[in-house]
Amino acid sequence: MNETTYAKAISTALSAAMRADPRVFVLGEDVAEGGPFTTTAGMAEEFGTDRLINTPISEAAICGVAVGAAQSGMRPVLEVMYIDFVTLALDQLVNQAAKAHFMSGGQLRVPLVLRTQGGAGYRGAAQHSQSLESWLTHIPGLKVVMPSRAADSAGLLASAIADDNPVVFIENKTLYFRRGTVPAQVDPVPIGEACTQRCGRDVTVVALSRMVHEALSAADVLASQGIEAEVIDPRTLVPLDVNTIVDSVRRTNRLVIAHEAVECGGFGAEIVARVQSAAFDYLDAPIERVGAPFTPVPLSPPLEDAYLPGAPEIEAAVRTTLNTPTH
């Protein structure tokens, strides 16, 4: 096992894919210079600028080129610098990439990976700090991946690049320089398989991306008080591993869902609906959700810190569901 950062794990997996397959190339703003968070640093020196392609500042153009290249047999990995800017590429991503296979009767494939990053905490204000994953999970034809750990980011990126469908790969800017252990030989992580990060008997906590680490911190505090929380990282939102979550809820009888996105309309609501459909009779209390308030992300550091949900909010949600009387 090696210790590395989340960003370096992504870089290593991307480099390995490019060495293994000459059809894989990277395009985006400043990718030949390493990108804003160093995930492509040093790659232009190895692969050249014909495979690390700096583009104009036009997300629509970047995604459009990638869709055409993918339909022509290449395997592009495009980087949209902030998930906020995916809004500028939605026609290409949603109306072209996601639908081409279906509308061509299976004749066309679009094997592209759109890497982007979301989340607050870097004082980026309202236009550079959003968590918009739930928008993308609403589109048939897109797979949506959201790793929380270095090892998973490497293994899932390998699977995403090998996939014949368009995959949106959502990273979190506050995780890039977080260190974690990664196997010396990284095997692909199957898209659509959740990971139980901590076992527990009293409550299930399903957390996305950065909130996985917050949930584990909350679980440590709760454990010191005799409350054992099971923490599940879905890793992939589409397809979603409902079975792992439902199996856990059938044992613990309570569920808390945590994500950084605003609570209103967040992906947590979809998990609530699926769990209630599959395990309603096993629930001893209403499902609790943890998310950000329904407001743009503030620029003010104290306000942004107050805006961001974390371990204290997860602890409070666990206590709420545990204190609900059973009938």
- Characterize the bridge pairing of strands 75-80 and 24-28: parallel
Has 213 been annotated as catalytic?
no
- Helical (H) or strand (E) element with 249: helix 242-252
Nearest alpha carbon to residue 284 among 317, 256, 255 = 255
Amino acid at 313: E
For 147, the 3-state DSSP assignment is coil
Q: Within 10 Å of residue 168's Cβ, how many Cβ atoms?
A: 28
Neighbours of 131 (CB within 10 A): 27
Question: Where do the DSSP E strands lie in 73-228?
Answer: 75-80, 113-118, 143-145, 167-172, 179-182, 195-198, 203-207
**∠ CA(194), CA(164), CA(157), 5° rounding?**
45
Provide the 8-state DSSP code for 285.
Answer: S
Distance of alpha carbon 95 from alpha carbon 172, whole angstroms: 26
Helix 311-322 crosses helix 210-223 at what angle (to 10 degrees)?
A: 60
Count the residues in the chain.
327
- Phi and psi of 160, rounded to 5°? -65, -40
DSSP-based three-state secondary structure for 117: strand
101, 60 Cβ separation under 8 angstroms: no
- Check if 228 is active-site: no
User: Of the listed 79, 101, 128, 133, which one is catalytic?
Assistant: 128
57 and 89 in contact (C-beta within 8 Å)?
no
Q: Using the structure block, give the residue that is written with the tokens 């666990």.
A: 318
Name the DSSP class of 288: E
Annotated catalytic residues are 59, 128
